[in-house]
Structure 1
Amino acid sequence: MLLLQQQHTASLAWVVALFPPALATTSTPAARHTRALLLHKPVGLLVTHRDELGRPTVYDLIRAHRALCPAMRSLEWHACGRLDQNSSGLLLMTNDGQLVQHVTDPSAGSVPLPKKYRAVVHQIGDAQAAKLREGVELSGGLGVTRPADVRVLAQGRTTTEIEITICEGRNRQVRRMLHAVGSGVMSLERVSVGGLSIDTMEPGDVRLLDDDEIRIGLQYMPRSLMPKSRVRHGGKNRRR
């Protein structure tokens, strides 16, 4: 137990030391308002609220991030989907449970948001890329994926750099798709969700979204823009 506590303390110290002071907003958020941010998740962080081994998580990062004011750091943030420990890139986080559902569960009545990734994989050819575009059978009884948009960016002697866009978010889906065509992922970065991208954000950077970015980029109506009667009665938020 003492070892786990020491590991956890060291992990938190690493998170705090990683990010220098930056300008912070001073507004105090109301819990009823939809808040969302983009995080450029670094490799090595877990997307979980608590890790029994004391490994650093994205929530440790947010709670210690000096680019956020204390009120924002203390909000009850939830990740919209996941990126595994060895993956990096755009992670959308929010305090609005309906927004989480909107992004992660297209069956909830909204049109799926495209998610774009860049990956370096063990070399694939035209036939394998074509299979990815058509949809592949995933192992573990997860069924066939929807068609994906796949672009080959560069071919090396033993590796291929690709850009792949999917409109669903099954567990470790891109890695499973590459495995299904006889390849494997060496590095994986999510670069965009919907109309939002990491652009010039560096690993570890966070950026708060304004209402228009949430409404247009994620096709979701923030609570602050909803009629008060809908907010009071928990009206379901649908894509616009």
Structure 2
Amino acid sequence: MERLQKFIADCGIASRRAAEKLIADGRISVNDDVITTQGIKINPVSDVVKYDGKIIKKCDEKIYIMLNKPKGYISTVKDEQNRKTIMALVTDIGQRIFPIGRLDNNTEGLLLMTNDGTLMQNVLHPKFKVEKTYIARVAGKLSNDELCALRQGIQLSEGMTAPAVVEKLSYDDEFNQAKISITIHEGRNRQVRRMFEAIGHDVLALKRVSFAGLTLHDLKRGKYRMLTQEELERLSVYLADN
């Protein structure tokens, strides 16, 4: 058991003295009961503590989140141009977390977030060649030669891209649009869009559906959830195998 004000301080919310004032002001709840009495003890493992309605956790607890990012949100913690960021979608974590990599403003789909700097570094390090799969809706019908070019690598301004796994999923003759699955392991800026643009096809919609072996499943757009223990173990095995 642990005193509530110490727990609040360990979460990085306030000093113990300031935490006592937060308690006195009725801004702290334990298991949804507002606490105003000083000196109460809690179980930091099983009790749910909230500050102004938001769950708080100790800073040394590792958080792993999967977000289904919608279009129209910047994949940063803050934006100097005051645009909407993904932090507006993850509002009750109680700890400072960061996105692992980025999806541009007009791209939706799977985005991992964490406060585990070691995991973030490993996932983003080129040596691990973490695979990312996207579904792209593109203008026009791709020829076999164009599909082959994507698979072999595309010349961009900074050099050739690595080979990609590319599959033609469907073609809409009425709207002259193709749906393509593409898996890459590099992390260049707007890479998938630029690869298609380089062969003369604009990307009309882009969604990341898989990252490091993890998939969205039925996670709804704009929603998030914690990674399961099984997913964390799979992620660990994935990195070890690469």
TM-score normalized with structure 2 length: 0.71
| Structure number with higher strand proportion | 2
Q: Secondary structure at the match of 1:127?
A: helix
- The structure 2 residue matched to 1:188, chosen from 177, 186, 206, is 206
Quote the residue 2:161 is aligned against.
Answer: 145
Unaligned runs of 5+ in 1: 1-24, 64-69, 221-237
Counterpart for residue 129 of structure 2: 112
What residue in structure 1 maps to residue 172 of structure 2? 156
CA distance in 1, matches of 2:234, 2:167: 26
| CA distance in structure 1 between the aligned counterparts of 2:172 and 2:230, rounded to whole angstroms | 41
1:102-147 alpha-carbon deviations (Å, 9 max, x no partner): 112223xxx32211100101122111110000011112xx211111
Pairs within 5 Å for 1:58-77? 58-63=86-91, 70=92, 73-77=93-97
1:96 paired to 2:124: no
Shift of 1:46: 0.7
Give the match's secondary structure for 2:119: helix
Match of residue 50 from structure 1: 78
Q: Which residue of 1 aligns with 2:62?
A: 34
Post-superposition offset of 1:155: 1.2
Q: Which runs of 4+ in 1 moved over 6 A?
A: none
1:131 to 149, 152, 155: 149
For 1:122, the equivalent position in structure 2 comes to: 139
In 2: Cα distance, 1:188 partner to 1:34 partner: 30
Whole-Å separation in 2 of the counterparts to 1:210 and 1:199 = 13
User: SS of 1:99's equivalent?
Assistant: helix
- Please provide the CA RMSD for this pair: 2.0
Q: TM-score, normalised by structure 1?
A: 0.72
Q: Tell me the number of residue pairs that the alignment of Structure 1 and Structure 2 aligns.
A: 186
SS across alignment from 1:50: coil
Contact 1:113–1:218 (CA under 8 A) maintained in structure 2: no
Gaps of 5+ in 2: 1-46, 50-55
After TM superposition, give the deviation of residue 209 of structure 1 in Å.
Answer: 1.0
Distance 1:39 1:218, change over 3 A: farther
Write the letter of the residue equivalent to 1:45. Answer: Y
Q: Which has the higher helix share?
A: 1
Q: Secondary structure at the match of 1:219?
A: helix
The separation in 2 between residues aligned to 1:173 and 1:219, in whole angstroms, is 27
SS class of match (1:62):
coil
Q: Is the 8 A contact 1:194 1:218 kept in 2?
A: no
Select between 151-160 and 83-92 the one with higher mean Cα deviation: 151-160
Higher RCO, 1 vs 2 (CA within 8 Å, ≥6 residues apart): 1
Per the TM alignment, residue 218 of structure 1 is displaced from its structure 2 partner at its CA by 4.9
Q: Contact 1:37 / 1:207 at 8 angstroms: preserved in 2?
A: yes
Identity %: 38
Distance in 1 (alpha carbons) for counterparts of 2:194 and 2:236: 26
Give 1:210 shift: 3.1
User: Partner letter of residue 209 of structure 2?
Assistant: V
Shift of 1:156: 2.1
